[in-house]
A and B are shown apart, each in its own frame.
Chain A
């Protein structure tokens, strides 16, 4: 009897592992930044290069940190979703204009709308490295204490906003600062 059941059990175990493997997304790399303080930067604002922004300026606020670039195709797909989110005024949206030409970036915001409360420039990609950015767009949620609470890789879809971002933002807004 065992002779017949054993191969079946082995097959089931293998099938389970393969099924898990099929459902993993290899491009989604867990961020080691979760629940850690937001990496420090001090970067010039896109719209006002003489002024700088640092994460310390945003303490006490829940903010969404969105990495974007005018050369990034998926960002174009994501942009209307961010515009929509900005209209709800649920969260401060900060943009990291990653390795981009400032003129092209400004032009992008002028034509497609600007969902960002402020965008900062990272022309040589150093802030990106500190945040572990490996593909644009990426989106982080930072809580009132300045801890990174969530990371989303790839374009944010309306479903992501409804099912993940808005509930999490509400939860973080309710937390004491």
Chain B
């Protein structure tokens, strides 16, 4: 029984993944554009969902807006511009590269470079220490040898 309900629930998953909408498209390219756009725009009510995923009323309105604009033959860029004019860059899941978002985009690179420098410095220091130690070991061996040989002269 338990398994049966599990199987049933997993069958429901594909339906739960997206908010249900019945939009018809005349050509598959347009449908593709619709699906990409709605999965790149953020629902502002439930901020960690795209408007494709969200069941909020605002998300449904924004999906309708995207759909209508595509039907009117508007390009992807025009639709994105329309949304950012109204809701700001926040509506985009992929923020544009700007002075304000510079830290966001360059942060990972900066940290990677810092990490590489740190590793390099640590390795260098370890090597120097090892070299010093081996130098000392050599000296110790020489002293021992001299002691063993005794005073010959």
Does A31 lie within 8 Å of B57, measured CB to CB? no
B41 → A minimal CB distance (Å): 12
- Docked CA distance A134–B87 (Å): 9
* Smallest CB gap from B48: residue in A: A26
B44 within 8 A of A: yes
List B2-55 residues whose CB lies under 8 Å from chain A.
44-45, 47
Identify which of B58-66, B72-80, B126-134, B137-145 touches chain A: B58-66
B136 within 8 A of A: no
A131 within 8 A of B: yes
Q: Is the interface of B mostly helix, strand, loop or mixed?
A: helix
Besides A27-B47, A134-B58, 13 more A-B contacts (Cβ < 8 Å) are A29-B87, A32-B85, A32-B86, A32-B88, A125-B57, A129-B61, A129-B62, A129-B65, A129-B86, A132-B87, A134-B44, A134-B45, A134-B87
Contact sample, A vs B, 25 pairs, CB 8 Å cutoff: A26-B47, A29-B87, A29-B90, A30-B90, A32-B85, A32-B86, A32-B87, A32-B88, A39-B86, A124-B61, A125-B57, A125-B58, A125-B61, A126-B61, A129-B61, A129-B62, A130-B86, A131-B86, A132-B87, A132-B88, A134-B45, A134-B58, A134-B87, A135-B44, A135-B45
